């Protein structure tokens, strides 16, 4: 069974990689990173002990980070 990460851990890694908190709507937080040519936006479910695997894969795709960055 794959390791499940908490939303707190995912947010910490995103912030270490240059993502900034933009806003929160309900139980979801929006983080954004702006490069010279593009903007990456990631939506994170807030205050979850375990993020499901499919949601985590979506976060990886949105953030353009690798799974190894979260270990």
Residue 1 pLDDT exceeds 70: no
pTM value is 0.88
Is 40 a member of any domain? yes
Residue 1 within a domain: no
56 belongs to a structural domain: yes
Provide the pairing of β-strand 28-34 with 39-45.
antiparallel
Give the pLDDT confidence of 28-53 residue by residue, as tens digits: 999 999 987 889 999 999 999 999 99
Quote the number of domains for the chain.
1
- Asked if the structure places residue 2 within a domain, the reply is no
Domain containing 51 equals: 7-66
Q: Say which CATH number the domain at 14 has.
A: 3.30.920.30
């Amino acid at each position: 069974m794959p390791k499940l990460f908490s939303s707190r851990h995912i947010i910490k890694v995103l912030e270490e990689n240059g993502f900034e908190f933009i806003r929160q709507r309900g139980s979801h937080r929006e983080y954004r990173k702006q490069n010279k040519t593009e903007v990456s936006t990631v939506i994170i479910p807030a205050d979850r002990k375990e993020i499901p695997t499919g949601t985590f894969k979506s976060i990886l795709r949105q953030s353009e980070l690798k799974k190894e960055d979260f270990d």
